[in-house]
Amino acid sequence: MSDLDLSEQAALSNAWQNWYRFSRNPTAVIGAIIVVVAVLLAVFAPYIVPYPADAGAVVDFQHRHLPPSWEHWFGTDNTGRDNFSRAIYGLRVSLALAGVVLVIAVPVGTVLGILAGYFGGWTEIVIMRLTDIALAIPPLVVALAVAAVLEPTLLNSMLALASLWWTWHARLVYSVTRQVRAQEYIEAAETLGASKLHILFREILPNVISPVAVKTSLDAGFVILIGAALSYLGLGVRPPTPDLGTMVANGANFLPDFWWESMLPATVILVLALGFNLLGDGLRDLFDVEDVR
């Protein structure tokens, strides 16, 4: 058959094409590098940081409020702890927060979105109206309320955020599912006698993965910012656990003289959030998906 050679070529070059497009997209590459480096730093924090002991409650008045130097890249805080070491440890909290919130919210939102999009009717009305209601509530406000009513712990903040965050994914997956459902291959699967479960999770799900991946990456940046905001307001991690938001709040007391104590951790938060956003944008270009904020 003469049309074979064409597909051989396609098969060979597919992985290559994706890699090529990704590597030619500076935004995506920078985003990916930031995220990977941040994750590695967080995981190996105890082996990397110059002053691992400073992650705890250490008081060293001799070295308090030192400006950035070769010994202390980010300077020291009001109890003389190394801010760089604490910032690296702080990555752990930010990434864990984003990870837990999204691990709960993304699957829940995706499943509800697919169900609503595929079945329509009452399923759609119930799920999507619930989503609309939940969408109307700002996550930060709920997190504040939960922290105020219950204990202001990291776990409570995570649960508060996760309890609302699924709605964004449900919306997205719902609209993508609606488009996919109208495709002929779904009808083909139905005429072949495939089960509903098969159609939902084998036929439709793989087609919503790309936009969900893009959104998840973008969301990770937002969750990190909200988490930092909660900590800044004193509703996040309890001292002495190192946390970037808490460091900013603490350092803000000593502005403008000891500017590094708040500004440098704040920069770390920004760069981390930026990294996730760049990665998300890059993935969006790579997958060529639309409709994702």
Partner 1 sequence: MSAPTLEIRNLTKTFPIRTAFGGKAGAVTAVDDVSLRVAAGAVYGLAGESGSGKSTIARMVMGLTRPDSGDILIDGQSIIGVKSHAHRGRVQMVFQNPGASLNPRRTVGQSIRVALDAHGKPAARVGDLLDMVQLPRHFADRYPHELSGGQKQRVAIARALAVEPRLLVLDEPTSALDVSVQAKVIELLEDLGRDLGLTYLFISHDLSLMRNFTAEVGVLYRGRIVETGPTARVFADPQHDYTRLLLASVPVISDEEAALRPDIPLINGELPTAEELLALRQAERKSE
Partner 2 sequence: MSLLSVEDIHVSFTTYGRTTEVLKGVSLSVPAAQQVALVGESGSGKSVTMKSIMGLLPQAARITQGRILFDGDDLLTMRERDRLKLRGTAMSMVFQDPMSSLNPVWTVADQLSTILKYADRRLGRARDRRGRMARVHEVLAQVRMREPERVAASYPVQLSGGMRQRVLIAMALLSEPRLLIADEPGTALDVTTQAQILKLLKDLVTERQLALLMITHNLGVVRETCAYTYVMHKGAIVEEGRTAAIFAEPQQDYTRALIAAVPRLTGRDAA
> Using CA atoms, how far apart are residues 142 and 136, in angstroms rounded to an integer?
11
Q: Which stretch binds partner 1 (CB under 8 A): 71-79, 162-170, 197-205, 224-232?
A: 197-205
Peptide bond into 256 cis (omega under 30): yes
**Segment interacting with partner 1, rule: CB under 8 A, options 35-43, 89-97, 125-133, 189-197:** 189-197
Nearest to 54 by CA among 25, 17, 24, 79: 79
Q: Find the shortest distance in angstroms from Cβ 10 to partner 2.
A: 12
Query: Are the C-beta atoms of residues 83 and 260 closer than 8 Å to each other?
Result: yes
CA atoms within 13 A on the CB side of 243: 28
Establish if 13 lies at the interface with partner 2 (CB under 8 A): yes
Q: Smallest distance from the beta carbon of 193 to partner 1, in angstroms?
A: 4
Would you give the binding string for partner 1 spanning residues 134-173, x where CB under 8 A is met?
----------------------------------------
285 binds partner 2 (CB under 8 A): no
Query: Does residue 50 touch partner 1 according to CB under 8 A?
Result: no
Q: Is 121 in the site for partner 1 (CB under 8 A)?
A: no
Do 244 and 77 meet the contact criterion of CB atoms below 8 Å apart? no
> Mapping DSSP to helix (H, G, I), strand (E, B) and coil, where does residue 67 land?
coil
Cα distances (Å, whole numbers) of residue 154 to 56, 123, 290 = 17, 34, 34
55 touches 102 (CB < 8 A): no
Binding-site ranges for partner 1 (CB under 8 A): 1, 3-4, 6-7, 10-11, 14, 183-195, 198, 202-203, 206-207, 209
Binding-site ranges for partner 2 (CB under 8 A): 13, 16-17, 20-21
